[in-house]
């Protein structure tokens, strides 16, 4: 188990989300940065679907109540174990009683903590993710807070020695403050008129501070759709870019509703959603580039293949050296 000492103000339990329940109006939820979750799980020997802790910019602090192996992945965070700084994108072992502190240091918005065995909370609709809108899943359907004690699942690896695993820098997504995100043209782009490319694909946006796990609101030149009627609600998915009456695009994110009635002008491809998730309000500059469905599929396959670059280095974490194996 681990004990939460300080949950920050936006930490929750997430996995890859609830797939297949959208027809019943249940949002997918899941990690904002899918790649970071998958990578952290593989670094500790978990399946990609295992539940971890998603940490927002408020950071988190917790204590290990048993010996364990963990990894922290993301962008814009620092990790400390009993005041010893550890690296992101690698595994390390904690000894019972040791304290982990994860701080947001600027750039990026989310980190993921994976623990070997996974966070062992109850599965609801095939997922352990927290649905903050529905108030279920995860740990009591809410954000984590002080004194929460989270159970850890059984581990398959019972060996005394455990290799240190790292994900090389060239396999980590190109997180940055100047993004060109690929997007598939949506069904309602023509509602922007003949100047759709100039209005949307040729301008630069920033993320508004009013953004959240449901959607990122983009600030830039207002987009005006040429549509005066009422649009029948239709299916929605993460990455869909809606244009509300205000003209400020909203990109649906992990907690996106399953249906919506605003025009959808494009859909950010799944492989680029982790980059958008890490975009910092007012700081990151975002542009969009139209691509085909074929390219979107190939990009996602390539993203998953980068996880195969994880390496086991020629160093073992011995029982008497639980943390700080690599400095």
Confidence band of 254 (pLDDT split at 50, 70, 90): very high
Residue 158's pLDDT is what?
A: 52
- Residues whose CB is less than 8 angstroms from the CB of residue 186 and which lie 6 or more positions away in sequence, other chains included: 240, 241, 263, 264, 265, 266, 267
**Tokens 């940065």 -> residue:** 33
Residue 327's pLDDT is what?
A: 34
Q: What is the pLDDT of residues 47-106, one digit of tens each?
A: 999 999 999 999 999 999 999 999 999 999 999 999 899 999 999 999 999 999 999 998
Q: What is the pLDDT of residues 115-161, one digit of tens each?
A: 999 999 999 999 999 999 899 999 999 999 999 999 999 876 554 56
Q: What is the pLDDT of residues 277-309, one digit of tens each?
A: 999 999 999 999 999 999 999 999 999 999 999
- Burial tier of 255 (Cβ tally within 10 Å: 0-12, 13-18, 19+): buried
How far is residue 266 CA from its own chain's centroid?
21
- Listing from the earlier edge strand, what are the strands of the sheet with 77-81? 84-86, 77-81, 99-104, 60-64, 2-6, 149-150
Residue 69: which H helix or E strand, with range?
strand 68-74
Residue 320's pLDDT is what?
A: 38
pLDDT higher than threshold 70 for residue 215: yes
pLDDT higher than threshold 50 for residue 324: no
């Amino acid at each position: 188990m681990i004990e939460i000492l300080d949950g920050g103000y936006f930490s929750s339990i997430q996995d890859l989300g609830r797939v297949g329940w959208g027809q019943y109006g249940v949002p997918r939820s899941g990690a904002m940065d899918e790649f970071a979750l998958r990578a952290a799980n593989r670094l500790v020997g978990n399946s990609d679907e295992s539940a971890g802790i998603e940490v927002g910019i408020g950071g988190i602090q917790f204590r290990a109540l048993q010996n364990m192996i963990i990894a922290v992945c993301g962008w814009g965070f620092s990790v400390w174990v009993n005041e010893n700084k550890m690296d992101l994108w690698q595994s390390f072992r904690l000894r019972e009683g040791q304290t982990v502190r994860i701080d947001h240091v600027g750039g990026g918005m989310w980190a993921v903590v994976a623990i070997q065995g996974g966070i062992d909370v109850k599965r609801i609709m095939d997922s352990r993710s927290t649905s903050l809108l529905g108030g279920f899943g995860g740990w009591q359907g809410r954000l984590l807070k002080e004194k929460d004690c989270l159970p850890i699942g059984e581990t398959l690896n019972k060996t005394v020695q455990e290799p240190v695993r790292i994900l090389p820098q060239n396999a980590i997504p190109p997180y940055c403050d100047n993004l060109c995100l690929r997007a598939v043209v949506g069904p309602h782009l023509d509602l922007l008129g003949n100047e759709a490319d100039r209005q949307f694909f040729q301008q630069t946006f920033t993320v508004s501070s009013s953004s959240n796990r449901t959607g990122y609101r983009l600030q830039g030149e207002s987009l005006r759709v040429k549509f005066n009627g009422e649009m029948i609600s239709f299916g929605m998915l993460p990455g869909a870019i809606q244009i509300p009456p205000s003209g400020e695009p909203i990109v649906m994110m992990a907690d996106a509703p399953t249906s919506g009635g605003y025009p959808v002008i494009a859909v950010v491809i799944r492989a680029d959603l982790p980059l958008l998730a890490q975009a910092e309000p007012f700081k990151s500059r975002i542009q969009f580039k139209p691509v085909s469905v074929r390219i979107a599929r190939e990009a996602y396959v390539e993203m998953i293949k980068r996880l195969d670059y994880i390496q086991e280095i020629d160093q073992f974490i011995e029982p008497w050296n639980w943390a700080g194996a690599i400095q």
